[in-house]
Amino acid sequence: MANRPDSAHLDIFGRFLRAHQQVSDLLNKSLVDERGLSLAWYEVLLQLTESGEDRLRLQDLADRVLYSRSGLTRLIDRMESAGLVEREPCDDDRRGTYAVITTEGKRQFRRAAATHLRSLEEHFFSRLTDEEITALGESMSHVLEGTDCEQQVNGDAPIATP
């Protein structure tokens, strides 16, 4: 039988999960209350903005925002109805579709970025020292080594760009 984590390790992991959920909830609340934009919508707009072309194939976008393809499809449907994104067919693959940020999506993203960054500072960064932030970054890189998320952790997916 493989080594099992002891109770202290399990407690740390539980606190990590609770902290993630609590901070995510607070970030979402700030965005919804101040900008009418959910954290999930913000994350999609962030990824499209940071793509360099204002668009991503839906499958690539699903990987970046950690959604299933079907979950992302429903999310994009709602965002498209709100005028924040559009779908475009892929020229090189008739089965593929791009999600493209609209002018309104860019405007909403820019407005929400300041709220999101302020909320991140308030609910996350201000509670840690610079040394703790560095250690946490290194620790999460170790956890994610060799996983599908590794590329995004190494600087390819920033949190916000005003």
Q: Where are the domains of the chain?
A: 18-147
**What is the structure's pLDDT at 91?**
81
**Contact indicator for 109, 46 with CB cutoff of 8 Å:** yes
Q: What is the mean pLDDT of each run of 10 residues along the chain (162 residues)?
A: 84 96 97 96 97 93 87 94 95 85 97 97 97 96 78 47 50
**Contact indicator for 119, 125 with CB cutoff of 8 Å:** no
**What is the structure's pLDDT at 156?**
46
The whole-angstrom separation of Cα 53 and Cα 9 is 43
**What is the structure's pLDDT at 109?**
97
Q: Classify 86 as helix, strand or coil.
A: strand
**Tokens 């609209």, residue?**
102
The whole-angstrom separation of Cα 51 and Cα 33 is 27
CATH classification code of 18-147: 1.10.10.10
**What is the structure's pLDDT at 149?**
59
Predicted TM-score (pTM) of the model is 0.84
**Tokens 């920033």, residue?**
158
Three-state SS letters, 8-35? HHHHHHHHHHHHHHHHHHHHHHHHHHHH
Q: What is the DSSP letter of 154?
A: I
